[in-house]
A and B are shown apart, each in its own frame.
Chain A
Amino acid sequence: MIGIKAIGSFVAPNTVSNHARRGQAGKDEGFIRDKIGFEALAKRDPGQETSDMCVAAFEDLKDTPGFDPAMVDCLVVCTQNPDAHGLPHTSAIVHGKLGLGPDVASFDISLGCSGYVYGLAMMTAFMAANGLRSGLLFTADPYSKIIDPQDWDTELLFGDAATVTWLGEDPVYACRPAIFGTDGSMGHSIAVAERGGTLRMLGSNVFKFSMTAVPEQVRRYLAREGLGDDDIDLFLFHQGSRFIVDNLTRKLGLPPEKVPFEAGQVGNTVSSSLPLMLKQRLQAPPPRVLMSGFGVGLSWATMVLEAG
């Protein structure tokens, strides 16, 4: 069975303190620390492209025991902020920068915060159906490309990071079938209106969606899978903000110790937020992990991972 074997990551090295500019933003210390939860944000170097961030994440993965770049036969990049204007696709650019051979399936998927769960579901199925054995799922969505620095509703939230998940046989985690949701009628809630434009986010819409559609899906999924809350060792929710994670925890009645918020020094890294957290657990994997990603689209997806 194809599943998750290892994860590499790259968190942009430049740090912007939200406390240092909270006066400009009209926010107090408690709001930064306890509400949005992002005390600092990771920012890429100017000129560092999405593909460069993928390559940096690959550098973190490449020395994993058993991994051989020459064996990679599938490469997917999940991004909505590709190199240039997305032509050619960023996965092909990454393929070239890594110097991989020609017998590699490469394509991008356009999803935001639900992208990691979608990506896992797509790649495991695609690889199994086509006899592929060693896949790389990249997440890299540098919102610093599209943030208006004067818009404090978004400027305080997003950080730049990338991850790469190595997929293959004999995994650390196998993926249960996922569950998916879309509400395109609310797509304007997180959107860039025109090419070259900046991100606009309607926070109240996003929060309402996060507190209604997401817990409903999690409950429906657990029932479908015949699992109770006690059967799940760890709940990983997209790190949209501390406020969202805390309220989801309350809404679902989950023990807070099972629902981490770990993005306080990085920011909301979109599709990278779930694999960044999962990476920290691969050395001593909790037996069963539920992951739920939700955001742009609006789109949401939930999946349970089963260890070994």
Chain B
Amino acid sequence: MISKDEFRNAVIAGIKAVKSADAANIGDDEEFSNAGLDSLDSMNLVLEVESITGLNFGEFNLSDANTINEFYAKAQQLSNKA
């Protein structure tokens, strides 16, 4: 199972890729909109995180998990099912 630190790093890298930014700062409980992501960017973020982690979130919509903590919880569910 992916660790929280690894997952957080993947999300941060994903946000940087989506926003074409050199840096991205967001707390584990902050909503992704605080990092400048809109609903379309969020779709892209899921793909970036899938690419980095190798996880497949299937039909998951990030609007249902709006923070790193919630997103990681989804990743844990996937790992537990696998």
Contacts and interface: CB of A to CB of B under 8 A. Distances in A.
Pair from one complex: yes
13 contacts: A31-B38, A35-B38, A35-B40, A202-B61, A203-B39, A203-B40, A204-B42, A204-B46, A204-B60, A204-B61, A207-B40, A207-B44, A207-B47
A213 interface: no
A208 B38 contact: no
Nearest to B41: A35
A146 interface: no
A212 B48 CA distance: 12
Contacts of A265: none
B38 A204 contact: no
Contacts of B47: 207-208, 211-212
Contact of B43 (A31, A36, A203): A203
A204 B44 CA distance: 9
Contacts of A180: none
Interface of B: 38-40, 42-44, 46-47, 59-62
Given A204-B42, A204-B43, 8 more contacts: A31-B40, A203-B39, A203-B40, A204-B59, A204-B61, A207-B44, A208-B47, A211-B44
Interface in A186-228: 202-205, 207-208, 211-212
Q: How large is the interface on A (under 10, 10 to 19, 20 to 34, 35 or more residues)?
A: 10 to 19
A202 B59 contact: yes
A205 B47 CA distance: 11
A264 to B, nearest CB: 16
A64 interface: no
A110 interface: no
A205 B58 CA distance: 8
Contacts of A204: 42-43, 46, 59-62
A67 interface: no
A31 B43 CA distance: 14
A141 to B, nearest CB: 23
Most chain B CB within a 10 A radius of its CB, from A36, A205, A208, A247: A208
A116 B46 CA distance: 30
Contacts of A208: 43, 46-47
Interface string A8-39: 00000000000000000000000100011000
A247 B46 CA distance: 14
Most chain A CB within 10 A, of B43, B46, B59, B61, is at: B43
Contacts of A203: 39-40, 43
B35 to A, nearest CB: 16
Interface string A29-52: 001000110000000000000000
A204 B39 CA distance: 9
Contacts of B59: 202, 204-205
A35 B44 CA distance: 12
A59 B2 CA distance: 61
Nearest to A242: B40
Contacts of B44: 207, 211, 247
B40 A243 contact: yes
Nearest to B57: A208
A245 B61 CA distance: 20
A207 B38 contact: no
A213 to B, nearest CB: 12
Nearest to B44: A247
